[in-house]
Copies of this chain bind each other. A is one copy, B any other.
Amino acid sequence: MVAATLKDVAELAGVSVKTVSNVVNGYAFVKPENRRRVEEALAATGYRPNVGARNLRRGRTGFLALVLPELSIPYFGELAGLVINAGHDQEWNVLIEQTLGTREGERATLGALGPHMVDGAIVSPEALHANDFEELSGGVPMVMLGEHAVDVPVDRVGIDNVRAAEVAVRHLVAIGRTRIAAIGQHPTRGTAALRLAGYRSALTEAGLPVREELIAPALNYHRRDGATAMADLLALPEPPDAVFCFNDLLAIGALRAAAERGVRVPGDVAIVGFDNNEESAYSLPSLTTIAPDKRAIARAAVDLLRRRVSGEEGLAPQQVHVPFALEIRESTS
């Protein structure tokens, strides 16, 4: 029993393909008698539309690309799940591509995204340059995730990173910390610059000095990088009494570095993360963190794409800010 086609069904029902197509697509007015016969034939043959053919005809692919660094990174795993769901709501299947967060990888992936491969792409760039974007977009509508230094006329969805960082640091100030460090400085990551700006401004606002030695860089944003950076901070003559990490993985690493040195959290040093990964509610201690509304990010991105794809030409590039919250947990109480 090899896949039945519209034609097969039509023959079995004794009607034309058009009628079958109409029934299948829930179309118009079909004589009840015919509808019944078509439906029977449909069931009898176990007909399933050939999506490829349908899309070829319709001039769409039915696919959406989600381009991100790596699915094994909790934040992206969680986000991807939500994007898949949001995509389904718009009859899109989501194709996930991994770039490893390198410019190489990002260029290669965008370049491979032919105009026929997908109807649009949701991209979470980490290292892309502005001109890469223009060069490689290939006419595929795109939405960028997260705020970025890169200035490209493209829709973006994310939270207000400067404000979020301010909220995080203000919280540390509010619980009485004065030597507040930051982990995650990075030369090219767009969000790093923004979170750092928020960190600085919150300190200044509180009348606290910004000490450059308390701003720790991170080559990557993995757990091990957080541990390394935290080790360096704790080795300072005057170590910090609080640390704002630019993501939860860094914070988890920082937690471990502290524990290994017998430094108590939050007793000796309070820690705040960013992203609200599921694991952060279960770390020991659990992690206070900035919780972006990931569901809103996924929905807004897909929605923006839908509007672009359905050809709202005049629409200027949008910058959508979704809500975030400070999730206060044990690492700061």
- A225 smallest CB distance to B (angstroms): 12
A80 contact set on B, CB distance < 8 A = 71, 77, 96
Bits for A277-291, please: 1 = Cβ < 8 Å to B, else 0: 011011110100000
Contact of A115 among B48, B55, B61, B71 (CB under 8 A): B48
A95 interface hit (Cβ, 8 Å):
yes
Could you give, for residues 220-234 of chain A, a 1 whenever the CB lies within 8 Å of some chain B CB and a 0 otherwise?
000100010000000
Q: Which of B70, B71, B227, B282 contacts A71 (CB 8 A)?
A: B71
Whether A252 is near chain B, meaning CB under 8 Å from some CB there, is yes
A138 touches B282 (CB 8 A): no
The answer to whether A81 and B85 touch across the interface, beta carbons within 8 angstroms, is: no
**A256-B284, A282-B253 known; A138+B48 contact, CB < 8 A:** yes
The complex places the Cα of A80 from the Cα of B76 at a distance, in Å, of 12
| Interface contact B74-A74, CB-CB below 8 Å | yes
* B252 contacts A116, C-beta separation under 8 Å: no
Nearest B residue to A56, CB-CB: B52
A183 to chain B, nearest CB (A): 15
A71 touching B81 in the complex, CB below 8 Å, given contacts A52-B55, A282-B252: yes
- A279: nearest chain-B partner, CB-CB: B279
Known: A93-B95, A282-B252. A114 touches B78 (CB 8 A): no
Q: Which residues of A does B touch, CB under 8 Å? A: 1-3, 46, 48-53, 55-56, 61, 70-74, 76-78, 80-81, 84-85, 93-98, 114-117, 138-139, 223, 227, 252-253, 255-256, 259, 278-279, 281-284, 286
Copy tally for this chain in the complex stands at: 2
| Set of chain B residues within 8 Å of A50, measured between Cβ atoms | 56, 114, 116
Task: Give complex CA distance A76, B286 in Å.
Answer: 23
Q: Give the CA-CA distance A51 to B119 in the complex, in Å.
A: 12
Contact of A81 among B52, B61, B72, B278 (CB under 8 A): B72
Q: Is the CB of A71 within 8 A of B61?
A: no
Which of A51, A72, A256 has most chain B Cβ within 10 Å? A72
CB distance from A180 to the nearest CB of B (A): 23
Complex contact A74–B77 (CB within 8 A): yes
Q: Are B223 and A282 in contact (CB under 8 A)?
A: yes
Is the Cβ of A116 less than 8 Å from the Cβ of B3? Answer: yes
Residue of chain B at shortest CB distance from A265: B284
Bound together, the chains give a CA A252 to CA B283 distance in angstroms of 8
In the assembled complex, the CB of A119 is this many whole angstroms from the nearest CB of chain B, namely 11
A71 and B84 in contact (CB under 8 A), knowing A53-B56, A282-B253? yes
Asked if A81 and B56 make an inter-chain contact with CB atoms under 8 angstroms apart, the answer reads: no
Residues on B with beta carbons closer than 8 Å to the beta carbon of A255: 282, 284
For A52, list chain B residues within 8 Å (CB).
52, 55-56, 61, 116
Residues of the B chain whose Cβ atoms lie less than 8 Å from the Cβ of A223: 278-279, 281-282
